[in-house]
Chains A and B, each alone.
Chain A
């Protein structure tokens, strides 16, 4: 029986020879993750379930990322619940402020996810780990509590939507543009309940950072998972990080059978794709940057689990080097993790941002979800490298969020209005 990557990984973790879409199975979990917003609710449910100990403290990660360093008194309590639970349960992968960052950049960076793994995260962007050839999906707090108690989760086996990327990405085109172009093509719920599987030379040519961005935004198309089957680049990336964390283990890449059944196949040609911008209030509302060129903004945000990685900061710095943020706006840069921050510092990227007049913050989700460090007021407009431009996402319901890649964001910061990077560099 031919199967897709998702079906193979789920079957293996359910102890079954084969599974098919629509089937509900109970699957073993390799890694369970929660953050400072979702974990406290999960801890309440865990107690209500009458569970004493987590299924395996070596397979649990708790990451303080959303409202840290504590933005107010209630959020200090959320972090405290996480801290105390991690201590009580001897959680191996608890990441304190100053030692971690945003979970979706951090866990791959730490070598905690490998091809073929099944990962459950209590955060919708947990689909990011699919870029490593794992089956990874986001859930809520009660689901996380059940996983912590049982080490298993009930899953409906998803149909797989295959996306074939022809050609290679051109100048200024990154994983973000591919994600936005795909969502524009299939819609905000175009992959609802499905697993998106990205293949083709366009994906093979992509850096791991850009692959992580592409998988990260599977959820914005409604998908359950966004998988990029592992290749030599993935294996090298994972092996290097596992070694650094002392986590070397046998890794078995999983690919779809040639005659596997897909719910659909979408083809996109990268040779025709330029930088994209998504206008409010849906990510599907995206098109070439030229269509929105000249739109004035009040703020630019470069960061988040989507675009706060080293590659993103390098690209932004290449545009901002020797230039200044436009005097009428502000630009906020937030490296996604402590390690990204450190590397950016060593490479001189942080100096470029500071010199350009950017505000640089320590790792946090911060303004992406209107948490803090760049919340928008009524009528304000922000061009952001994050993932959602929903109404009220970054603050006031009357504020507007435009989504783009870090090159467009940096160029927009210089121009004070939405602009193609070429127009700033020329």
Chain B
């Protein structure tokens, strides 16, 4: 599992009301939700992002509401991976559960600007800034989460537990 794309850098405490405002929660469709991703900060953001791009943010990314529509909206943009200095815990769970890679690496966040080309290997914990020729290492996931990520999220995990093929 490896992601390579342009970085979009955001600040600290990006909450889920900013990632996807509540008025759009009447939809459960990732494509529809993605059209309003980050709208309060930058209404043009969804139009500027290309599939494969990588979101980079400061402390406490995804704080606030438990709405899974937030990681769904990000994934709906074709973004496969978020690198942040830290994540709010419900967002962290939601992202892993739906197969959106989340990597906690404050050093990488400090050393990255919007437009830099990043290469991220979540399971290896490697974040490389190809534009600047730097490499940082994230804290490894606990064993259970490695298993969950390898399975592709909680849906395949539960299917396995239930013996559903």
Q: Which positions in A face B, CB cutoff 8 Å?
A: 22, 24, 37-38, 40-41, 44-45, 48-51, 66-67, 72, 74-75, 77-78, 122-124, 126, 138-143, 145-146, 149-150, 154, 156, 188-189, 192-193, 219, 222, 224, 282, 369-371, 375, 388, 390-393, 397
Contact = CB atoms under 8 A, between A and B. Distances in A.
Given A50-B164, A146-B154, A189-B86, A38 B60 contact: no
B64 A390 contact: yes
A370 B22 contact: yes
B27 A74 contact: yes
A41 B40 CA distance: 24
A51 B158 contact: yes
B40 A139 contact: no
A149 B97 contact: no
Contacts, number: 144
B110 interface: no
A44 B13 contact: no
B23 interface: yes
A380 to B, nearest CB: 15
B90 interface: yes
Interface of B: 13, 15, 17-18, 21-23, 25-28, 39-41, 59-60, 63-69, 71-72, 86, 88-90, 93-94, 97-98, 142-145, 148, 153-155, 157-159, 161-162, 164
B17 A41 contact: no
Contact of A150 (B23, B25, B72, B161): B161
A402 to B, nearest CB: 16
Given A37-B25, A150-B161, A222-B60, A123 B17 contact: no
Given A141-B68, A188-B60, A192-B86, A49 B28 contact: no
Contacts of B63: 188-189, 222
Nearest to B15: A390
Contacts of B164: 49-51
A223 to B, nearest CB: 9
Contact of A138 (B27, B59, B66, B71): B66
Contacts of A49: 155, 158-159, 162, 164
Given A49-B159, A193-B89, A391 B26 contact: no
A48 B155 contact: yes
A392 B40 contact: yes
A413 B15 CA distance: 29
8 contacts: A38-B67, A41-B28, A49-B155, A49-B162, A139-B90, A189-B88, A391-B41, A393-B17
